Amino acid sequence: MGSRALLMLTNFNFKATVSSFGSASNPFFLIKNNLRIRNFSTKTRSSLQPPDLPGLAETARISLAPNEVEEFAPKIGQVIDWFGQLQAVDLDNVEPAIRADTEGDNLREDVPQTFENKEALIASVPSYEEPYIKVPKVLNKE
């Protein structure tokens, strides 16, 4: 079956191999009915740069320990590769949908309303020095 071949050629590292196709642990059992693959190239793998974890971590403002980088990199790589299958789908002339759009415009009057429970808001702040929320200094990086 075409799709089985595709799976083998794309080298996904998933535990359930093609031989156990009938089991519920195989994540790709439903790909076989995809009718919209434009060409039967084996490139469902993303052709973009693989994720640069330390760079992403800096953008996301999360510091990662070296063992975390080691642990996450293969898993994230695997998932991003899996995302890559959307590259092969013919999406010409399809409008992107921001949300399900089950309803139309729904804005309220642009009138400010006072929030009464200010004490609770302030009580949640970890480091407060009236009237400032206190944070450490900002270091300007080049």
Partner 1 sequence: MLSTIQPPRYLSRFPLRGRTKSRSFHILSSAQPVTKTCFAADQSQILSIRDSLLNRHLSAVELTHSYLDRLKQTEPHINCFLHVSDPDKVLKQAQDIDDKIKRNEEVGPLAGVLVAIKDNICTADMPSTGGSYILEGYRPPFDATAVKRLKDLGAIVVGKTNLDEFGMGSTTEASAFKVTANPWDLSRVPGGSSGGSAASVSARQCVVSLGSDTGGSVRQPASFCGVVGLKPTYGRVSRFGLMAYASSLDVIGCFGSSVADTGILLHAISGHDSLDATSSKREVPDFTSQFTYASSLKSRPLEGLRVGLIRETVDAGVDSGVKSAIEGAAAHLEQLGCVLKEVSLPSFSLGLPAYYILASSESSSNLSRYDGVRYGNQASSDELNGLYEESRAKGFGSEVKMRILMGTYALSAGYYDAYYKRAQQVRTIIRKSFKAALDENDILISPAAPSAAYKIGEKKNDPLAMYAGDIMTVNVNLAGLPALVLPCGFVEGGAVGLPVGLQIIGAAFDEEKLVKVGHIFEQTLEGYNFVPPLITDVGGASA
Instruction: Answer yes or no: are the C-beta atoms of 47 and 87 closer than 8 Å.
Output: yes
C-alpha–C-alpha distance, residues 10 and 6, integer Å: 6
Minimum CB separation of residue 72 from partner 1 in Å reads 6
Nearer to partner 1, 9 or 69 (CB): 69
For residue 77, the surrounding DSSP H or E stretch is helix 66-83
Nearer to partner 1, 29 or 42 (CB): 29
Instruction: Answer yes or no: are the C-beta atoms of 90 and 36 closer than 8 Å.
Output: yes
Nearer to partner 1, 9 or 75 (CB): 75
Minimum CB separation of residue 110 from partner 1 in Å reads 12
Task: Taking the CA atoms of 14, 20, 25 and 26 in sequence, report the sign of the dihedral they define.
Answer: positive
**Closest Cα to residue 82, out of 123, 113, 125, 51?**
51
Nearer to partner 1, 9 or 138 (CB): 138
Minimum CB separation of residue 15 from partner 1 in Å reads 6
Minimum CB separation of residue 91 from partner 1 in Å reads 4
